[in-house]
């Protein structure tokens, strides 16, 4: 009875086939039924969602509202929401209720969307498996013994299991694209600066970027129309005119130049994964695209450079959690120093502490040049590689991840192996480029994602390629078992 | 790069994170592993390469110095661990 995509639900609401109250109730009951096994949500806002849906229905009844009015969605629990706890999946913020809405939340509310709840994630967005959450791991809807990816794993699992038609995510090194790939949905990391970071809890400020996650590229385009835009409260927000991200969706792929990075298709790429990506490339060729190899000579250094930059910035950003003004405070501190050090020791989990320590070390006197400066120099070389590649091609295509979803617990004891999950995704963050993951097939019942990286501010082109691909394939509509 | 117990204590001190003695060896092992891994960066000669701090050319942004919102102190302090008469309470710092 109810449609599953944002685009179709929006059309049904306008046609009054059902009300926002009805479709909201539908998702709330699915969450109540399925989420205890998946743990995709940290907080469900049933009462608020019902009130928002009633407001949306009143607008729709008067023929008012916008294209997204009345459509339910979920927010990653990293976006501040006035009156609803924002935990960032950390014990540190277990009791934190923001006194304001993040710009993204404010914009989606203004568009009339109905927030179902706040989704689970890796603690402070640090992780690739959603196992570092204070609220426990999220389970992949395709195989509940496996991880959904991270850090936006709750958002990805919620969309895949149809516990929300769309969700927000954030992507610092792949945290929208990697879980989108492992859960079989579509996700877009916009160009750095395109979506406001205000009210989005900071991890690594020069890399963090919010974006939409949904089943289809057309849905992502609609969400981007509401989410993106200049924000005077974010000093790194880019001043550019607003654009219609749906405008290129119908465009043919004839003549599209697709670059295949030699380094990403080298030996070491799993043959089964390669076969899936090759088939996707063949499909794009059948639709008129031409492919050519491109060189990203510094690709192998993206992860080392990323972990230095991200850890350094995280050690600085997370120094604000001092147990004084908000967040966790230890019991009966002996003195101020004890208050700081014990509150932080108790409030942060293992992975967060590890990264703060790595970042503190990399920034400490005597080591700055060897680590942080070196990483920033590599960052420039990585960016230049892409600038060179984009002289000859319109988009760069690769797998999103090196493997399908792995088992819960498999990589938790080995931080470096876990970091390698992001081998294809971190470069786009270092360079600030837009990138997305598109469902491209399955290996033994587990989804595979294809990554598309675009030129700066070329999100509409990425969405065009993904949408045209989705007109000829159905991977993005596959539904996990028992959902 | 190998990190020892004394260095872990020093870093933890800078980061203001209390670490149990029992966990120091584990942190030392993991940090050594991570730092050895990122030292792969040294394979590239970056002499003369200008560091990139920010992907998009960031310019200093200013706005008119005008009041745009009122701060609601009670709302801001609602989640504070300990407040009294509008002040945040911490253990005594001056004897």
Give yes or no for a contact between A158 and A377, defined as CB atoms under 8 angstroms apart.
no
The pLDDT, as a whole number, for residue B59 is 73
Domain boundaries in chain B? 5-43
Give yes or no for a contact between A423 and A402, defined as CB atoms under 8 angstroms apart.
yes
The pLDDT, as a whole number, for residue B54 is 87
For A373, the closest of B38, B51, B76 (CB atoms) is: B51
The pLDDT, as a whole number, for residue A200 is 98
Tell me the count of A-B CB pairs closer than 8 A. Answer: 161
A308: closest chain B residue by CA = B38
Give yes or no for a contact between A91 and A319, defined as CB atoms under 8 angstroms apart.
no
Put simply, whether A67 touches B (Cβ < 8 Å) is: no
**Catalytic residue flag (residue A151):** yes
What is the CB neighbour count within 10 angstroms for residue B87? Answer: 10
Q: How far is B87 from chain A (nearest CA, A)?
A: 10
Across the strands, what pairs with A187? A213, A437
**Catalytic residue flag (residue A19):** no
With an 8 Å Cβ cutoff, are B79 and A97 in contact?
Answer: yes
CA Rg, chain B, in Å?
Answer: 23
The Cα–Cα gap between A429 and A427 comes to: 5
Give yes or no for a contact between A69 and A59, defined as CB atoms under 8 angstroms apart.
yes
Q: Is the dihedral of CA A444, A446, A452, A453 positive or negative?
A: negative
* Residue matched to tokens 């120094």: A319
Put simply, whether A297 touches B (Cβ < 8 Å) is: no
Chain B residues lying within 8 Å of A335, measured CB to CB: 91-93
Look at residue A239 and tell me whether its pLDDT is greater than 80. Answer: yes
The Cα–Cα gap between A22 and A477 comes to: 22
Q: Is the dihedral of CA A198, A202, A208, A209 positive or negative?
A: negative
Token code pair at residue A284: 């794009």
From the candidates A19, A87, A155, A175, give the one annotated as an active-site residue.
A175
Put simply, whether A381 touches B (Cβ < 8 Å) is: yes
Query: Per-residue pLDDT tens for A329-364?
Result: 999 999 999 999 999 999 999 999 999 999 999 999
Residue A425, exposed/middle/buried by CB under 10 A (0-12, 13-18, 19+)? buried
With an 8 Å Cβ cutoff, are B55 and A383 in contact?
Answer: yes
Give yes or no for a contact between A297 and A263, defined as CB atoms under 8 angstroms apart.
yes
ipTM tops 0.85: yes
For B15, the closest of A206, A329, A356 (CB atoms) is: A356
Domains identified in chain A and CATH numbers: 6-251+444-449+456-477 (3.90.1300.10)
Q: How far is B7 from chain A (nearest CA, A)?
A: 9
The pLDDT, as a whole number, for residue B61 is 78
DSSP string for A1-63: ----SHHHHHHHHHTTSS-HHHHHHHHHHHHHHHHHHH--EEEE-HHHHHHHHHHHHHHHHTT
A265-274, A290-299, A385-394, B24-33 — which is least confidently predicted?
A265-274
Put simply, whether A32 touches B (Cβ < 8 Å) is: no
Look at residue B58 and tell me whether its pLDDT is greater than 70. Answer: no
From the candidates A19, A20, A76, A186, give the one annotated as an active-site residue.
A76
Chain A residues lying within 8 Å of B35, measured CB to CB: 358, 361
Chain B residues lying within 8 Å of A96, measured CB to CB: 79
CA Rg, chain A, in Å?
Answer: 21
With an 8 Å Cβ cutoff, are B52 and A336 in contact?
Answer: no
Look at residue A83 and tell me whether its pLDDT is greater than 90. Answer: yes
Query: Quick one: average pLDDT of A272-286?
Result: 98
The whole model's pTM is what?
A: 0.97
B87: closest chain A residue by CA = A325
| 223-252 of A, contacting B, C-beta below 8 A | 232, 235-236, 238
Query: Quick one: average pLDDT of A241-255?
Result: 97
Query: Per-residue pLDDT tens for A390-432?
Result: 999 999 999 999 999 999 999 888 888 888 889 999 999 999 9
């Amino acid at each position: 009875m109810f449609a599953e995509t944002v685009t179709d639900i929006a059309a049904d609401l306008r046609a009054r086939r059902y009300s926002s109250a009805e479709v909201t109730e539908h998702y709330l009951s699915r969450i109540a039924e399925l989420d205890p096994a998946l743990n995709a949500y940290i907080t469900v806002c049933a009462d608020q969602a019902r009130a928002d849906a009633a407001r949306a229905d009143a607008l729709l009844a008067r023929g008012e509202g916008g294209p997204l009015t009345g459509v339910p969605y979920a927010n990653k629990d990293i976006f501040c929401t006035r009156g609803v706890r924002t935990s960032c999946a950390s014990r540190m913020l277990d009791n934190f209720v923001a006194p304001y809405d993040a710009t993204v939340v404010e914009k989606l509310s203004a568009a009339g969307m109905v927030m179902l709840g706040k989704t689970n994630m890796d603690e402070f967005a640090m992780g690739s498996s959603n196992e570092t959450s204070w609220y426990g791991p999220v389970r992949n809807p395709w195989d509940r013994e496996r991880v959904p990816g991270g850090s936006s794993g709750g958002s990805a699992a919620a969309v895949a299991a149809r516990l929300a038609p769309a969700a927000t995510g954030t992507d610092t090194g792949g945290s929208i694209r990697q879980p989108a790939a492992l859960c079989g949905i579509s996700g877009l990391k916009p160009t750095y600066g395109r979506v406001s970071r205000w009210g989005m809890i900071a991890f690594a400020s020069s890399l963090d970027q919010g974006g939409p996650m949904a089943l289809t590229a057309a849905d992502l385009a609609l969400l981007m129309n509401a989410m993106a835009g200049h924000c005077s409260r974010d000093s790194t927000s880019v001043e550019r005119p607003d654009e219609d991200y749906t405008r290129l969706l119908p465009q043919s792929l004839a003549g599209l130049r697709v670059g295949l990075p030699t380094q990403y298709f080298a030996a070491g790429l799993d043959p089964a994964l390669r076969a899936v990506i090759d088939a996707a490339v063949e499909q794009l060729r059948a639709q008129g695209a031409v492919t050519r190899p491109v060189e990203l000579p510094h690709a192998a250094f993206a992860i080392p450079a990323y972990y230095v930059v991200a850890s350094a910035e995280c050690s600085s950003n997370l120094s604000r959690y001092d147990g004084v003004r908000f967040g966790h405070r230890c019991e009966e501190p002996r003195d101020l120093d004890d208050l700081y050090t014990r509150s932080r020791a108790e409030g942060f989990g293992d992975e967060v502490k590890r990264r703060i320590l790595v970042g503190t070390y990399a920034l400490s006197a005597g080591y700055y040049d060897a680590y942080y400066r070196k990483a920033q120099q590599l960052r420039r070389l990585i960016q230049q590689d892409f600038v060179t590649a984009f002289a000859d091609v319109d988009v760069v295509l690769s797998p999103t991840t090196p493997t399908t979803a792995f088992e819960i617990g498999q990589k938790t004891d080995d931080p470096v192996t876990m970091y390698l999950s992001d081998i294809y995704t971190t470069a786009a963050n270092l360079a600030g480029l837009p990138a997305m993951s598109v469902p491209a097939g399955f290996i033994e019942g587990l989804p595979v994602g294809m990554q598309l990286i675009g030129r700066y501010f070329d999100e509409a082109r990425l969405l065009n390629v993904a949408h045209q691909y989705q007109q000829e394939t159905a991977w993005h509509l596959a539904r996990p078992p028992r959902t | 790069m190998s990190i020892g117990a004394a260095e872990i204590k020093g870093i933890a001190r800078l980061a203001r994170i209390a670490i149990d003695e029992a966990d120091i060896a584990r942190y030392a092992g993991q940090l050594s592993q991570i730092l050895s891994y990122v030292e792969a960066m040294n394979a590239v000669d970056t002499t003369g390469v200008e560091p990139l701090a920010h992907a998009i050319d960031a310019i200093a942004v200013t706005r008119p110095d005008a009041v745009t919102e009122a701060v609601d102190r009670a709302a801001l302090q609602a989640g504070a661990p300990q407040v009294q008469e509008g002040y945040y309470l911490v253990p005594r710092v001056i004897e």
